[in-house]
Structure 1
Protein backbone atom coordinates (compact mmCIF):
# COMPACT_ATOMS: atom_id res chain seq x y z
CA UNK A 1 0.00 0.00 0.00
CA UNK A 2 2.99 2.29 -0.27
CA UNK A 3 1.67 3.32 -3.68
CA UNK A 4 -1.67 4.61 -2.43
CA UNK A 5 -0.90 5.57 1.17
CA UNK A 6 -1.84 9.22 0.53
CA UNK A 7 -4.35 8.71 -2.31
CA UNK A 8 -8.09 9.38 -2.13
CA UNK A 9 -10.29 8.59 -5.14
CA UNK A 10 -13.59 10.43 -5.48
CA UNK A 11 -16.39 9.53 -7.89
CA UNK A 12 -20.15 9.98 -8.20
CA UNK A 13 -21.29 7.94 -5.22
CA UNK A 14 -18.21 6.45 -3.61
CA UNK A 15 -14.91 7.59 -2.13
CA UNK A 16 -11.91 5.28 -1.83
CA UNK A 17 -9.45 6.03 0.97
CA UNK A 18 -6.33 4.14 2.14
CA UNK A 19 -7.04 1.34 4.62
CA UNK A 20 -5.87 2.78 7.93
CA UNK A 21 -5.67 1.61 11.50
CA UNK A 22 -8.89 3.38 12.51
CA UNK A 23 -10.84 1.33 9.96
CA UNK A 24 -9.77 -2.03 11.41
CA UNK A 25 -12.49 -2.60 14.08
CA UNK A 26 -15.36 -2.14 11.61
CA UNK A 27 -13.56 -4.16 8.93
CA UNK A 28 -12.99 -6.94 11.47
CA UNK A 29 -16.68 -6.92 12.38
CA UNK A 30 -17.56 -7.37 8.70
CA UNK A 31 -15.20 -10.31 8.37
CA UNK A 32 -16.86 -12.14 11.24
CA UNK A 33 -19.56 -12.88 8.65
CA UNK A 34 -18.98 -16.37 7.25
CA UNK A 35 -20.58 -15.59 3.88
CA UNK A 36 -18.32 -12.57 3.33
CA UNK A 37 -15.27 -14.65 4.16
CA UNK A 38 -16.41 -17.33 1.74
CA UNK A 39 -17.06 -14.85 -1.06
CA UNK A 40 -13.70 -13.14 -0.58
CA UNK A 41 -11.70 -16.33 0.15
CA UNK A 42 -10.64 -14.85 3.50
CA UNK A 43 -9.62 -16.54 6.71
CA UNK A 44 -11.20 -15.65 10.03
CA UNK A 45 -8.78 -13.52 12.06
CA UNK A 46 -8.78 -12.24 15.60
CA UNK A 47 -8.91 -8.47 16.08
CA UNK A 48 -5.19 -8.44 16.95
CA UNK A 49 -4.43 -10.42 13.80
CA UNK A 50 -6.53 -7.97 11.77
CA UNK A 51 -4.49 -5.05 13.12
CA UNK A 52 -1.28 -6.89 12.21
CA UNK A 53 -2.61 -7.63 8.72
CA UNK A 54 -3.48 -3.96 8.18
CA UNK A 55 0.10 -3.02 9.01
CA UNK A 56 1.43 -5.69 6.65
CA UNK A 57 -0.71 -4.32 3.82
CA UNK A 58 0.34 -0.77 4.68
CA UNK A 59 3.98 -1.55 3.91
CA UNK A 60 3.43 -4.00 1.03
CA UNK A 61 4.72 -2.64 -2.27
CA UNK A 62 2.58 -5.08 -4.27
CA UNK A 63 -0.81 -4.29 -2.78
CA UNK A 64 -3.06 -1.25 -3.03
CA UNK A 65 -5.79 -1.47 -0.43
CA UNK A 66 -8.65 1.00 -0.13
CA UNK A 67 -11.70 1.33 2.09
CA UNK A 68 -14.84 2.27 0.16
CA UNK A 69 -17.02 5.00 1.64
CA UNK A 70 -20.54 6.03 0.71
CA UNK A 71 -20.01 9.56 -0.60
CA UNK A 72 -23.41 10.82 0.48
CA UNK A 73 -22.94 9.58 4.04
CA UNK A 74 -19.41 11.00 4.16
CA UNK A 75 -20.56 14.44 3.01
CA UNK A 76 -23.33 14.33 5.60
CA UNK A 77 -21.30 13.12 8.59
CA UNK A 78 -17.62 13.72 7.75
CA UNK A 79 -17.08 10.38 9.53
CA UNK A 80 -15.14 7.74 7.59
CA UNK A 81 -16.03 4.93 9.98
CA UNK A 82 -19.76 5.58 9.76
CA UNK A 83 -19.46 5.91 5.97
CA UNK A 84 -17.58 2.62 5.37
CA UNK A 85 -19.37 0.23 3.01
CA UNK A 86 -16.64 -2.10 1.74
CA UNK A 87 -13.11 -2.41 0.44
CA UNK A 88 -11.17 -2.52 -2.82
CA UNK A 89 -7.79 -4.06 -3.56
CA UNK A 90 -5.24 -4.35 -6.33
CA UNK A 91 -2.69 -7.16 -6.05
CA UNK A 92 0.26 -6.47 -8.35
CA UNK A 93 2.65 -8.87 -10.05
CA UNK A 94 4.87 -9.02 -13.13
CA UNK A 95 4.06 -11.51 -15.89
CA UNK A 96 7.44 -12.67 -17.15
CA UNK A 97 5.93 -15.07 -19.71
CA UNK A 98 5.82 -12.38 -22.37
CA UNK A 99 8.27 -11.02 -24.93
CA UNK A 100 8.28 -7.95 -22.70
CA UNK A 101 7.21 -8.36 -19.03
CA UNK A 102 3.91 -6.68 -18.19
CA UNK A 103 2.29 -5.55 -14.95
CA UNK A 104 -0.85 -7.44 -13.92
CA UNK A 105 -3.36 -6.18 -11.37
CA UNK A 106 -5.74 -8.60 -9.68
CA UNK A 107 -8.92 -6.78 -8.65
CA UNK A 108 -10.63 -7.68 -5.40
CA UNK A 109 -13.52 -5.85 -3.81
CA UNK A 110 -16.57 -6.25 -1.62
CA UNK A 111 -19.60 -4.24 -0.60
CA UNK A 112 -19.92 -5.50 2.95
CA UNK A 113 -22.85 -3.41 4.16
CA UNK A 114 -26.14 -5.02 3.05
CA UNK A 115 -27.86 -1.64 2.90
CA UNK A 116 -25.61 -0.64 -0.01
CA UNK A 117 -25.78 -3.80 -2.09
CA UNK A 118 -27.76 -4.06 -5.31
CA UNK A 119 -27.27 -0.37 -6.11
CA UNK A 120 -24.39 -0.59 -8.56
CA UNK A 121 -21.83 0.66 -6.03
CA UNK A 122 -19.61 -2.40 -6.46
CA UNK A 123 -19.36 -1.64 -10.17
CA UNK A 124 -18.50 1.99 -9.46
CA UNK A 125 -15.80 0.91 -7.01
CA UNK A 126 -14.36 -1.48 -9.60
CA UNK A 127 -14.33 1.18 -12.32
CA UNK A 128 -12.48 3.62 -10.05
CA UNK A 129 -9.96 0.98 -9.03
CA UNK A 130 -9.32 -0.03 -12.65
CA UNK A 131 -8.88 3.57 -13.81
CA UNK A 132 -6.45 4.19 -10.95
CA UNK A 133 -4.56 1.04 -11.89
CA UNK A 134 -4.24 2.14 -15.52
CA UNK A 135 -3.36 5.79 -14.98
CA UNK A 136 -1.38 5.77 -11.72
CA UNK A 137 0.30 2.37 -11.78
CA UNK A 138 0.54 1.38 -15.44
CA UNK A 139 -1.28 -1.96 -15.24
CA UNK A 140 -1.48 -3.69 -18.62
CA UNK A 141 -3.77 -6.59 -17.73
CA UNK A 142 -6.43 -6.99 -15.06
CA UNK A 143 -7.58 -10.22 -13.46
CA UNK A 144 -10.41 -11.12 -11.12
CA UNK A 145 -10.61 -14.44 -9.29
CA UNK A 146 -14.15 -15.01 -8.02
CA UNK A 147 -15.92 -17.69 -6.05
CA UNK A 148 -18.32 -19.66 -8.24
CA UNK A 149 -20.95 -19.00 -5.57
CA UNK A 150 -20.65 -15.24 -6.03
CA UNK A 151 -23.01 -14.77 -8.97
CA UNK A 152 -23.26 -11.02 -8.39
CA UNK A 153 -19.53 -10.44 -8.85
CA UNK A 154 -19.36 -12.79 -11.83
CA UNK A 155 -22.14 -10.87 -13.55
CA UNK A 156 -20.47 -7.55 -12.72
CA UNK A 157 -17.11 -8.46 -14.27
CA UNK A 158 -18.84 -9.78 -17.37
CA UNK A 159 -20.52 -6.37 -17.70
CA UNK A 160 -17.11 -4.74 -17.26
CA UNK A 161 -16.00 -6.48 -20.46
CA UNK A 162 -13.79 -9.07 -18.73
CA UNK A 163 -13.36 -12.46 -20.39
CA UNK A 164 -13.75 -15.77 -18.57
CA UNK A 165 -10.40 -17.53 -18.80
CA UNK A 166 -10.68 -20.60 -16.59
CA UNK A 167 -12.81 -22.37 -14.00
CA UNK A 168 -11.34 -24.34 -11.11
CA UNK A 169 -13.69 -26.93 -9.67
CA UNK A 170 -11.05 -27.77 -7.06
CA UNK A 171 -10.88 -24.23 -5.68
CA UNK A 172 -14.49 -23.43 -6.62
CA UNK A 173 -13.54 -20.24 -8.46
CA UNK A 174 -13.51 -18.63 -11.87
CA UNK A 175 -10.81 -16.36 -13.32
CA UNK A 176 -11.58 -13.38 -15.54
CA UNK A 177 -9.08 -11.23 -17.44
CA UNK A 178 -9.04 -8.02 -19.46
CA UNK A 179 -6.14 -6.62 -21.47
CA UNK A 180 -5.69 -2.87 -21.32
CA UNK A 181 -6.00 -1.44 -24.83
CA UNK A 182 -7.44 1.71 -26.33
CA UNK A 183 -10.98 0.28 -26.45
CA UNK A 184 -10.89 -0.70 -22.78
CA UNK A 185 -9.44 2.66 -21.73
CA UNK A 186 -12.24 4.42 -23.59
CA UNK A 187 -14.77 2.06 -21.96
CA UNK A 188 -13.45 2.95 -18.48
CA UNK A 189 -13.15 6.69 -19.11
CA UNK A 190 -16.71 6.90 -20.45
CA UNK A 191 -17.98 5.38 -17.18
CA UNK A 192 -15.88 7.45 -14.76
CA UNK A 193 -16.61 10.98 -15.91
CA UNK A 194 -16.64 12.41 -12.37
CA UNK A 195 -13.50 10.60 -11.21
CA UNK A 196 -10.85 12.62 -9.39
CA UNK A 197 -7.75 12.02 -7.27
CA UNK A 198 -7.03 13.92 -4.06
CA UNK A 199 -4.03 13.71 -1.76
CA UNK A 200 -4.43 12.87 1.93
CA UNK A 201 -1.93 12.99 4.76
CA UNK A 202 -0.23 9.59 5.13
CA UNK A 203 -1.33 7.80 8.30
CA UNK A 204 -0.82 4.50 10.06
Structure 2
Protein backbone atom coordinates (compact mmCIF):
# COMPACT_ATOMS: atom_id res chain seq x y z
CA UNK A 1 0.00 0.00 0.00
CA UNK A 2 1.49 3.29 -1.05
CA UNK A 3 -0.37 5.14 1.71
CA UNK A 4 2.11 3.90 4.33
CA UNK A 5 5.16 4.04 2.04
CA UNK A 6 6.79 7.10 3.61
CA UNK A 7 5.92 6.78 7.29
CA UNK A 8 7.14 4.89 10.30
CA UNK A 9 5.31 4.33 13.55
CA UNK A 10 7.44 4.61 16.67
CA UNK A 11 6.32 2.83 19.82
CA UNK A 12 7.91 2.15 23.19
CA UNK A 13 9.72 -1.09 22.21
CA UNK A 14 9.10 -1.41 18.46
CA UNK A 15 9.23 0.67 15.31
CA UNK A 16 7.03 -0.18 12.32
CA UNK A 17 8.56 0.62 8.93
CA UNK A 18 7.20 0.00 5.41
CA UNK A 19 8.16 -3.33 3.83
CA UNK A 20 10.87 -2.44 1.28
CA UNK A 21 13.13 -4.45 -1.05
CA UNK A 22 15.98 -4.18 1.47
CA UNK A 23 13.95 -6.32 3.91
CA UNK A 24 13.15 -9.17 1.50
CA UNK A 25 16.27 -11.31 1.94
CA UNK A 26 15.90 -11.55 5.72
CA UNK A 27 12.14 -12.04 5.45
CA UNK A 28 12.74 -14.85 2.96
CA UNK A 29 15.14 -16.54 5.40
CA UNK A 30 12.50 -16.35 8.13
CA UNK A 31 9.88 -17.94 5.92
CA UNK A 32 12.02 -21.03 5.32
CA UNK A 33 11.11 -22.00 8.88
CA UNK A 34 8.50 -24.78 9.00
CA UNK A 35 7.35 -23.45 12.38
CA UNK A 36 6.67 -19.97 10.96
CA UNK A 37 4.99 -21.46 7.88
CA UNK A 38 2.66 -23.38 10.16
CA UNK A 39 1.98 -20.46 12.50
CA UNK A 40 1.24 -18.10 9.60
CA UNK A 41 -0.48 -20.64 7.31
CA UNK A 42 2.10 -19.77 4.66
CA UNK A 43 4.03 -21.68 2.05
CA UNK A 44 7.71 -21.24 1.31
CA UNK A 45 8.35 -19.03 -1.71
CA UNK A 46 11.46 -18.73 -3.82
CA UNK A 47 13.48 -15.55 -3.34
CA UNK A 48 12.22 -14.28 -6.71
CA UNK A 49 8.62 -14.95 -5.65
CA UNK A 50 9.26 -13.14 -2.36
CA UNK A 51 10.50 -10.05 -4.24
CA UNK A 52 7.36 -10.13 -6.39
CA UNK A 53 5.22 -10.49 -3.27
CA UNK A 54 6.92 -7.46 -1.72
CA UNK A 55 6.10 -5.45 -4.86
CA UNK A 56 2.42 -6.38 -4.62
CA UNK A 57 2.36 -5.36 -0.95
CA UNK A 58 3.80 -2.02 -2.04
CA UNK A 59 1.32 -1.24 -4.83
CA UNK A 60 -1.93 -3.00 -3.82
CA UNK A 61 -4.42 -0.69 -2.12
CA UNK A 62 -5.96 -3.55 -0.12
CA UNK A 63 -2.75 -4.65 1.65
CA UNK A 64 -0.97 -2.70 4.35
CA UNK A 65 2.20 -4.10 5.85
CA UNK A 66 4.95 -2.94 8.14
CA UNK A 67 8.18 -4.61 9.17
CA UNK A 68 8.56 -4.71 12.95
CA UNK A 69 11.90 -3.48 14.27
CA UNK A 70 13.18 -3.96 17.79
CA UNK A 71 13.56 -0.34 18.90
CA UNK A 72 16.54 -0.96 21.19
CA UNK A 73 18.50 -2.79 18.47
CA UNK A 74 17.64 -0.04 15.98
CA UNK A 75 18.81 2.67 18.37
CA UNK A 76 22.08 0.80 19.02
CA UNK A 77 22.87 -0.11 15.40
CA UNK A 78 20.74 2.12 13.14
CA UNK A 79 20.54 -0.98 10.94
CA UNK A 80 17.02 -2.00 9.96
CA UNK A 81 18.05 -5.48 8.86
CA UNK A 82 19.68 -6.27 12.23
CA UNK A 83 16.67 -4.79 14.04
CA UNK A 84 14.02 -6.74 12.08
CA UNK A 85 11.98 -9.07 14.29
CA UNK A 86 8.73 -9.61 12.38
CA UNK A 87 5.92 -8.05 10.42
CA UNK A 88 2.32 -6.95 10.81
CA UNK A 89 -0.33 -6.74 8.11
CA UNK A 90 -3.83 -5.57 7.38
CA UNK A 91 -5.77 -7.08 4.48
CA UNK A 92 -8.58 -4.67 3.60
CA UNK A 93 -11.65 -6.78 2.81
CA UNK A 94 -14.06 -3.98 1.88
CA UNK A 95 -16.86 -2.31 3.86
CA UNK A 96 -14.31 -0.91 6.34
CA UNK A 97 -13.27 -4.44 7.42
CA UNK A 98 -9.67 -5.65 7.68
CA UNK A 99 -8.00 -8.91 8.56
CA UNK A 100 -5.16 -8.29 11.03
CA UNK A 101 -1.97 -10.36 11.30
CA UNK A 102 1.19 -10.26 13.37
CA UNK A 103 4.32 -12.40 13.18
CA UNK A 104 7.31 -12.18 15.48
CA UNK A 105 9.84 -14.27 13.60
CA UNK A 106 12.85 -13.86 15.87
CA UNK A 107 12.61 -16.25 18.82
CA UNK A 108 14.52 -13.91 21.17
CA UNK A 109 11.81 -11.27 20.70
CA UNK A 110 8.80 -13.50 21.47
CA UNK A 111 6.96 -13.37 24.75
CA UNK A 112 8.23 -9.87 25.55
CA UNK A 113 5.23 -7.82 24.46
CA UNK A 114 6.70 -6.66 21.17
CA UNK A 115 4.10 -8.50 19.08
CA UNK A 116 1.32 -7.07 21.21
CA UNK A 117 2.64 -3.53 20.90
CA UNK A 118 3.15 -3.90 17.12
CA UNK A 119 -0.40 -5.18 16.72
CA UNK A 120 -1.86 -2.38 18.85
CA UNK A 121 0.02 0.19 16.76
CA UNK A 122 -1.26 -1.42 13.56
CA UNK A 123 -4.85 -1.54 14.82
CA UNK A 124 -4.65 2.15 15.78
CA UNK A 125 -3.19 3.00 12.36
CA UNK A 126 -6.03 1.09 10.71
CA UNK A 127 -8.67 2.96 12.72
CA UNK A 128 -7.12 6.40 12.37
CA UNK A 129 -5.74 6.35 8.82
CA UNK A 130 -7.66 3.61 6.98
CA UNK A 131 -11.07 4.09 8.66
CA UNK A 132 -11.37 0.43 9.69
CA UNK A 133 -14.56 -0.30 11.64
CA UNK A 134 -14.18 -4.06 12.12
CA UNK A 135 -11.17 -6.33 12.49
CA UNK A 136 -10.91 -10.06 11.85
CA UNK A 137 -8.06 -12.31 12.99
CA UNK A 138 -7.64 -15.89 11.74
CA UNK A 139 -5.26 -17.88 13.90
CA UNK A 140 -4.15 -21.50 13.91
CA UNK A 141 -5.87 -23.47 16.66
CA UNK A 142 -2.49 -24.53 18.06
CA UNK A 143 -1.29 -20.90 18.38
CA UNK A 144 -2.75 -20.31 21.84
CA UNK A 145 -0.41 -17.38 22.55
CA UNK A 146 -1.80 -15.35 19.62
CA UNK A 147 -5.39 -16.33 20.36
CA UNK A 148 -5.00 -15.13 23.95
CA UNK A 149 -3.30 -11.91 22.83
CA UNK A 150 -6.19 -11.00 20.51
CA UNK A 151 -8.77 -11.95 23.14
CA UNK A 152 -6.98 -9.67 25.62
CA UNK A 153 -7.42 -6.89 23.06
CA UNK A 154 -11.18 -7.44 23.09
CA UNK A 155 -11.51 -9.78 20.10
CA UNK A 156 -14.25 -12.42 20.37
CA UNK A 157 -14.01 -15.88 18.82
CA UNK A 158 -16.81 -16.28 16.27
CA UNK A 159 -15.92 -19.61 14.62
CA UNK A 160 -13.53 -22.53 14.49
CA UNK A 161 -12.65 -24.53 11.40
CA UNK A 162 -11.52 -28.10 11.91
CA UNK A 163 -10.69 -28.32 8.20
CA UNK A 164 -8.33 -25.32 8.21
CA UNK A 165 -7.37 -25.81 11.88
CA UNK A 166 -7.97 -22.15 12.69
CA UNK A 167 -10.19 -19.93 14.77
CA UNK A 168 -11.68 -16.65 13.63
CA UNK A 169 -11.92 -13.75 16.03
CA UNK A 170 -13.57 -10.38 15.45
CA UNK A 171 -13.55 -6.93 16.98
CA UNK A 172 -15.96 -4.14 16.09
CA UNK A 173 -14.44 -0.70 16.57
CA UNK A 174 -16.50 1.22 19.11
CA UNK A 175 -15.78 4.64 20.58
CA UNK A 176 -14.95 2.98 23.91
CA UNK A 177 -12.52 0.50 22.32
CA UNK A 178 -10.93 3.24 20.21
CA UNK A 179 -10.31 5.23 23.40
CA UNK A 180 -8.78 2.10 25.01
CA UNK A 181 -6.57 1.65 21.93
CA UNK A 182 -5.45 5.28 22.10
CA UNK A 183 -4.60 4.84 25.80
CA UNK A 184 -2.52 1.72 25.06
CA UNK A 185 -0.56 3.51 22.31
CA UNK A 186 -0.44 7.02 23.77
CA UNK A 187 3.36 7.27 23.60
CA UNK A 188 3.54 6.32 19.93
CA UNK A 189 4.05 8.70 17.05
CA UNK A 190 4.01 8.64 13.28
CA UNK A 191 7.13 10.09 11.69
CA UNK A 192 8.49 10.41 8.13
CA UNK A 193 10.32 7.34 6.80
CA UNK A 194 13.24 7.95 4.47
Same topology, TM > 0.5 = yes
Partner of 2:13: 13
Partner-residue secondary structure (3-state), 1:42: coil
CA–CA separation in structure 1 for the residues paired with 2:115 and 2:100: 12
Figure out how many residues of one structure are paired with residues of the other and give that number: 194
Gaps of 5+ in 1: 95-101
CA–CA separation in structure 2 for the residues paired with 1:111 and 1:89: 12
Partner of 1:97: none
TM-score scaled by length of structure 2: 0.98
Cα-to-partner distance string for 1:125-148 (whole Å, 9 max, x where unaligned): 110000000001100001100011
- Is 1:79 the equivalent of 2:79? yes
Q: CA deviation at 1:82?
A: 0.3
CA–CA separation in structure 1 for the residues paired with 2:35 and 2:3: 30
- Which 4+ stretches in 1 moved above 4 angstroms? none
Match of 2:97 among 88, 97, 104: 104
Q: CA deviation at 1:3?
A: 1.9
Partner of 1:43: 43
Q: Cα RMSD between the aligned structures?
A: 0.8
Name the structure where helix makes up a greater proportion of residues: 2
Q: CA deviation at 1:189?
A: 1.0
Q: CA deviation at 1:105?
A: 1.2
Task: Write the mapping of 1:1-204 to structure 2, written as runs, cut at 5 A.
Answer: 1-94=1-94, 102-201=95-194
CA–CA separation in structure 2 for the residues paired with 1:150 and 1:7: 31
Q: CA deviation at 1:187?
A: 1.2
